[in-house]
Structure 1
Amino acid sequence: MEAQCVVAIVRPETLDALEKEIHAIDTHGVTITRVKGFGAHLNPYADHWETEHLKIEIFTRASDVDALVDAIMRVTHVGAPGDGIVAVMPVAGFYSIHSMKQVAP
């Protein structure tokens, strides 16, 4: 099994709908982290540059990446600057700490 990592930075208010969609396409593990940062679209009316978003990290089979990215894009898109980003990265190795074995290359 070839593994990939899908990383998305999304608006916090999209999390409930995103969680439902991710479960509906049979995704088994998700890491969610609250993050602060800034990108191309700064808020000139804010006291600081950073905005709060969520970082979603999902390790998945390469064959499931397109459906996962489509779901993330469809659910989190509101059509405004700051909607977020999605990146897909190859995974060189994937190991289970429980079994102490490599799960995927």
Structure 2
Amino acid sequence: MHQDFIDLIKADDHPYIAIRFHYNPYELFEKNGQTGTIDSEIYITLAGEEKKYAIPGQIHLCQDKALRINGNIKINLNDFHLKPPSKFMGMVKVNNEVFVNFGLKMEQNLITRK
């Protein structure tokens, strides 16, 4: 099933899953204080398609001034026009929803603006 999932997300053509924030997390952190929750939007690119998702999570400042954002998100494969694989004439199926727990660490000097 692992290889089927790799084929499903077209990893040969699109080897990376991109996550793009539409805000500067450091500005959000300064506004909300030392630690807190975030409830904002991100853009996820999977199999060459980009979709917007709301993400609730926690934001923390690390000792090296990097920010760590933790949370979870539910991604529906149908949003990316992907049909989950099935095996054994449909007896084994992959759900349309993928639950992702994430932890991102970012440094301020790596943030770019478009």
If the length of structure 2 is used for normalisation, what is the TM-score?
Answer: 0.28
| Greater strand content | 2
Larger radius of gyration: 2
Larger RCO (CA under 8 A, 6+ residues apart): 1
